[in-house]
Amino acid sequence: MEYRTLGSSGTSVSHLALGTMTFGAETDRDGAFAQLDAFVEAGGTLVDTADVYTAGTSEEIVGAWFAARPAEVTERVVLATKGRFPTSGEPNGVGLSRRHLTRALDASLRRLGLDAVDLYQVHAWDPWTPIEETLETLDAFVRAGKVHNVGLSNFTGWQLQRAVSAADASGLVRPVTLQPQYSLLVREIEWEIVPAAEENGLGLLPWSPLGGGWLSGKYTRDNAPTGATRLGENPERGVEAYARRNSQQRTWDVIAAVQQVAEARGASMAQVSLAWLAAQPAVSSVILGARTLEQLTDNLGSADLELEADELDALDTASDPQPADYPYGVPGEQQRSRKLTGGR
């Protein structure tokens, strides 16, 4: 396992993280404990959860695991959680206001059975709350010792820059991470969001690194998913999502490229896809979301897979979203670049 800093902070984390969104839903308590044990045994340190994962049950399971394991095991874990989405039906039970975040963090700490978390992330932008109020609240959490670092999740490029600039202007604690969706099938964040994160020293914690299962090779071109898959268990939504992704030739170009590298290296398609993402320079840690211990074990196999330059190039080419229009495509190239002439 490789270790990297959590963005511009001094905290080190494993380059593979364990996501816990399945805990309490697709993964029961025993299965979750087995995943946590296997992850830590493999050298993993970053565990990511959220207050809305299975209505708080995920945090409760993680907290129970902390309570059941000795300190020499749990002290290795860098724990991250999130707040923002509805935790009650009342008007102030959602958002990034001081009122909601204060209650949400305290509730998370109770479920986790801890005095503090290493990383507290705002789960998405809130158009109703001034970002200054949110940042002041996060700063107070750090000063109170309840949170060690703060991060963002699902922010666009301008929202990220707005948050960082506001924090700098007021001398408030700066976010150190961004948790976005990112994979070989979702690279559009490279147009604005990744440059904004790199410019401001935020490390990426990508979620859905296997594109909802597509990059593991579980879906075929001619058959809609059924059964125990992310798309198969929600037929109405699954058929629509499958049809949308299936209709794009780029999807199958990417899958073919991943399969070719996987066969040549004797690795699984999931391992190749995770290794590509971990090799991206802005990434601090890739969040693995497994239903079963077997899936997690396979995903962890990517820790020892280092792709060669030609393999990375092939995957880059197949997965390039190729913007067609201004400002990212060819029509905007002159506005984006500056060619130096004369001199050296």
| Helices and strands, number each (H, E), in the chain | 13, 10
Cα four-point dihedral sign 104, 110, 113, 115? positive
**Which two structure tokens, joined as six digits, stand for 210?**
């296997």
Provide the 3-class DSSP secondary structure of residue 268. coil
Two tokens, residue 149: 């670092």
Residue 238: CB atoms within 10 A of its CB come to 18
What CA–CA distances, in Å, run from 325 to 22, 63, 94, 188? 38, 48, 37, 13
Phi (first) and psi of residue 17, to 5 degrees: -115, 160
Closest CA to 249 of 218, 284, 221: 221
Integer angstrom CA distances of residue 149 from 32, 60, 62, 78, 90: 25, 21, 19, 11, 29
Q: Which of 53, 120, 219, 242 is catalytic?
A: 53
53 is catalytic: yes
Spatial contact of 120 and 82, defined as CB atoms under 8 Å apart: yes
For every residue of 214-256, DSSP letters joined together read GGGT---SSS---SSSTTTTSHHHHHHHHHHHHT-HHHHHHHH
**Catalytic site residues?**
53
